A and B are shown apart, each in its own frame.
Chain A
């Protein structure tokens, strides 16, 4: 019973060429804006984000709650409410422009080519539908399997995500499982049709620390096996430290720094990124070390402040920061961008250099990537 045949008007069936060219990015997002109209004004949740993801790589998107990272993930997918939402910009996925696809075409992409792992498995799984069914419905929809085939595949999927006795558990309901198990089921569902891109929205929030590691390992293993691209959205820099190839730091709806992981940690430019790193407690720290939190609160997304959005909370703020918004500039290596007037140099905290308009030897004030 495939829904593809249900429509009266046949929309163009999308083609997804087998992308073997690793150099071509799988996903290219350009200047994406997403705003919500509410009773109190328009909330600019995502305010001009550009990024790209290559096949088989992991991009970590890190930010506090309210930074817009979840909205970004949903906006990339197109999984937004239909009313009171304004979206502009471009999202190119394997050559298709996602923002202009018709709903029926989007449904061809969702689940089959691009899928999402949700944050809270208790609320994201339908409590009155058996787990097996929640996996097989997308198998039968996208891969045209019959019931028997779908069930066998579902059992194998559950096994591959580490759920014991999957033949039995396939008939279980979500509430019968533990939190970690449910998240594994979510992963199984997201990966069922072997999508090329998986967006994982805070997949480990709410889980025990030990279980967190297991889940992330699992995700990583699956990714390698299937050569998937993953966008890992989280508020925890520690989570992406070891598992992402590239990290993008978001603040107030914008990307404020983006670099390959090693570069980000070695040559942090943006004070906010540095602050995030400092707030991760380390086992090596002597006991009794104070936890560093970032003072202040995230800005109002309805009326964002003039100038740099992080200025009210930045320990190195200068007058220029409050007046002018810093553009995204490229650092020494072309794959590292940041947005700061007085970036940190050589990773050493507290030694800002006024870059002004004159070019500084190791920094190229090029125009931001379009």
Chain B
């Protein structure tokens, strides 16, 4: 077990390193630099050179990388060239918003997909099953950038049930926070519901054909109990795996949602930073996001070893 963990941690470290290099290169190899933004279009070449020197941007790339990485290890991600807000601060205020959105969307997705799959897997090809399966196509055709505006049009502007913009931190006012988060959270949910439902249903149907289910029936166990304790358990593994990947990809959707709802999340910040060539902000956010995803995968791997007895005991 320990060996397995160590191996994974080593992989984590290597990938993190590679990602940090990629992030850095991405930002620095593209044309343009912050000087035009900071000093304005009419800046003289001399002023620009000065600024470049000041910001340390005319040092050789590997040197800049070294400085940056060194700072990162000391917990200093730099600051925005324009606003001088520390990158760390941007991240700590923005990250929770995105995390909360993701949590809400996934909780709702599981809450809908799991019961629905449990019911339809037992009676495949019946009306409820057919409707649900067709419904998943509809859900998959409603990505956040379609669903969010529709929600706003109907529920915010039309019915005035929810606000179209704004965000109140959870610590400040939990009730308002959750209330305001409903529309943006739900806008992220559609695709997840479809994927989790289809996967679970497919998995359950196959599991239900297994001998051990017949055996469980022969013991006199009720259908409900069999479904829940015997059939569902092996399926949780594939759900776990897909959840990991799915969450990673929710990122872009999250960005769009916070953008539309004018929440000050990471998506908002990074789009602006990219347009302003705010290197350190872009690097910092990208690095953190990439690492978060990698760590998430790592955690899911780990959960696998805990939850599935077959993995480490072979």
A residues sitting closer than 8 Å to B (CB atoms) are 3, 6, 77, 79, 106-112, 115-116, 118, 120, 123-129, 137-138, 141-142, 173, 175-176, 189
Specify the chain A residue showing the minimal Cβ separation from B217: A79
Write 12 A-B pairs (CB below 8 A) sorted by A numbering. A3-B222, A3-B225, A79-B217, A107-B220, A110-B219, A116-B215, A124-B212, A129-B233, A141-B219, A173-B313, A176-B313, A189-B215
Contact of B215 (CB < 8 Å), options: A106, A108, A125 = A125
Contact A77 B218 (CB under 8 A): yes
Docked-complex contact B220 and A108, CB < 8 angstroms? yes
Q: Sorted from nearest, which 3 A-B pairs have the closest CB atoms?
A: A111-B220, A110-B220, A111-B219
Q: Does B143 touch A at the CB level, under 8 Å?
A: no
Q: With A111-B220, A112-B220 in contact, do A128 and B308 touch (Cβ < 8 Å)?
A: yes
Closest-CB distance, B220 to chain A (whole angstroms): 4
CA distance A173 to B308 in the complex (A): 11
Asked if B212 and A141 sit within 8 Å, CB to CB, the answer is no
Q: Which residues of B210-243 are within 8 A (CB) of A? A: 210-212, 214-222, 224-225, 229-230, 233-234
Cα–Cα, bound, A273→B308 (Å): 48
Q: Which of B215, B224, B309 contacts A173 (CB 8 A)?
A: B309
C-alpha spacing A357/B239, complex, angstroms: 68
Contact of A116 among B210, B218, B224, B310 (CB under 8 A): B218
| Closest chain A residue, CB of each to CB of B234 | A128
Q: How far is the CA of A88 from the CA of B75 in the complex (A)?
A: 77
Assembled-state Cα–Cα distance A278/B163 (Å): 85
Residues of A within 8 A of B217 (CB): 79, 110
Closest to B237 in A: A128
Instruction: Point out residues on B near A: beta carbons under 8 Å.
Output: 210-212, 214-222, 224-225, 229-230, 233-234, 308-310, 313-314
Q: Find B219's partner among A115, A128, A175 (CB 8 Å cutoff).
A: A115
Q: Complex: how many Å from CA A129 to CA B219? A: 15
Q: Indicate if the CB atoms of A118 and B310 lie closer than 8 Å.
A: no
By CB atoms of chain B within 10 A, which of A115, A124, A189 has the most?
Answer: A124
The reply to whether A175 and B310 contact each other, CB–CB distance below 8 Å, is yes
Inter-chain contacts of A6 with B (CB < 8 A): 222, 224
**Across the interface, do A138 and B221 meet the contact criterion of CB distance under 8 Å?**
yes
CB distance from A230 to the nearest CB of B (A): 15
Contact A124 B221 (CB under 8 A): no
Given contacts A123-B210, A127-B234, A115 and B218 within 8 Å (CB-CB): yes
Given A107-B221, A110-B217, A111-B221, list of 5 further CB < 8 A pairs?
A111-B220, A118-B211, A124-B211, A128-B310, A175-B314
Q: Which of A109, A112, A120, A176 contacts B211 (CB 8 A)?
A: A120
Complex alpha-carbon distance, A116 and B309, angstroms: 27
Q: Which chain B residues lie closer than 8 Å to A189 at the CB level?
A: 215, 219
On whether the beta carbons of B308 and A110 are closer than 8 Å, the reply is no
The docked-state distance in angstroms from the alpha carbon of A166 to that of B204 is: 32
Inter-chain CA distance A115–B244, complex, in Å, is 42
Q: Cβ of B214: which chain A residues have Cβ within 8 Å of it?
A: 79, 118, 124
Complex CA–CA separation, A141 to B217 (angstroms):
12
| Distance between Cα atoms of A108 and B220 in the complex (Å) | 6
Contact partner of A79 among B218, B224, B229, B234, CB < 8 A?
B218
Contacts of B234 in A (CB 8 A): 126-128
Complex contacts, A116 vs chain B, CB 8 Å: 215, 218
**Contact partners of A115 in chain B: CB under 8 A:** 218-219
Q: Could you tell me the distance between the alpha carbons of A116 and B214 in the complex, rounded to whole angstroms?
A: 10
Instruction: Check A127–B310 contact: CB distance below 8 A.
Output: yes
Identify the closest chain A residue to B314 (Cβ): A175
- A115 to B225 CA separation, bound complex (whole angstroms): 18
Q: Which residue of A lies closest to B212 (CB)?
A: A126
- Of all chain A residues, the one with the shortest Cβ separation from B209 is A81
Q: Which chain B residues lie closer than 8 Å to A106 at the CB level? A: 220
Find the B residue at minimum CB distance from A142.
B220
Q: Are A107 and B210 in contact (CB under 8 A)?
A: no
Complex Cα gap A60–B313 (Å): 39
Given the interface pairs A3-B222, A107-B221, A141-B221, the reply to whether A124 lies near B309 with Cβ below 8 Å is no
Q: Hey, which chain B residues are within 8 Å of A124, CB to CB?
A: 211-212, 214-215
> A79 vs B211: C-alpha distance in the bound complex, in angstroms?
12
Given known contacts A124-B212, A128-B308, A138 and B230 CB-to-CB distance under 8 angstroms: no
Q: Count chain B CB atoms within 10 A of each CB in A108, A110, A142 and give the residue with the most.
A: A110
Residues of B within 8 A of A141 (CB): 219-221
